[in-house]
Amino acid sequence: SPARLALDLAWAPPSASRPFGSGDAGVDLLALVSHATVRALALAALVSLFGFLVGTPLGAAAGIFRGRFERWTLRACDLVQSFPTFLLALAVLSAVRSPSRLHIGLVFCVTAWAPFARVAAAQARVLSESQFVEAARALGLGSVAIVFVHVIPNLLGPVSVQIGTSAAGVVLGETALGFVGLGPPDGVSLGSLIEQGTLAMLRAPHVLTVGAVAVILVSGSLQLASEGVRRWVHLE
């Protein structure tokens, strides 16, 4: 458990019993990194799934229907993406007495759909002029059915790359919020770990090293996973 403390092992270097060493108040860094990574990945998966389920159909519909609907959809994307998510999170979470991962996830969901909608709209605009879409229209298939039956399945490849990018952004955002003190109240986050490392950079440099390497590995793995999903969808 990351809540188990051993004051006599505070800031202890890596050893056989504690491969990653100890942090503030003797917390086991291996336990802290493991729990923080799992929770960050769960948060990133939920936010990315929300963005995918909301943004992809919206963007696909905008690319097919065109006209005023497409213009307003893209303007909404511009509005959402013009305001940094981190600043929005700072403004919202500063007003919350005890911010939790639920609050963090809700803030990220406000902007998570926009990149998916923009990518889907661009791909749908190209697919709307393809032969199989024209054939579906000639057979009398409605625009809504075309979006869900023909367009969305054929744009999953490009959109799937955005899933990993969005998830990596959530991990980095949650880490940054934890670093400035607006993370989960239990302190089990990669940002809190990096904050510990900066406070004891000279006395226990291994703490900052463990936190930084964990963030790099998690965000990089999500990017690589999204590329693998894209290739799998393309092959299918």
Residue range 24-40: mean pLDDT, rounded: 91
- For 99-115, b/e burial (b = at least 16 CB within 10 A) is bebebbbebbbbbbbbb
pLDDT over 80 at 63, yes or no: yes
pLDDT of residue 34: 94
Q: Say what the pTM is.
A: 0.87
Top-confidence residue, 154 or 31 = 31
Sequence-distant (6+) residues with CB within 8 A of 4 are 27, 28, 31
Q: DSSP characters for 165-233?
A: HHHHHHHHHHHHHHHTT-S-TT--SHHHHHHHHHHTTTT-HHHHHHHHHHHHHHHHHHHHHHHHHHHHH
pLDDT over 90 at 154, yes or no: no
Top-confidence residue, 98 or 36 = 36
CB 193 within 8 A of CB 23: yes
pLDDT of residue 234: 61
pLDDT over 60 at 129, yes or no: yes
Q: What is the mean pLDDT of the chain?
A: 87
CB 208 within 8 A of CB 194: yes
Top-confidence residue, 148 or 232 = 148
pLDDT over 70 at 233, yes or no: no
Neighbours of 139 (CB within 10 A): 7
Of 30-39, 141-150, 196-205, where does mean pLDDT reach its minimum? 141-150
- What's the pLDDT band for 55 if we cut at 50, 70, 90? very high
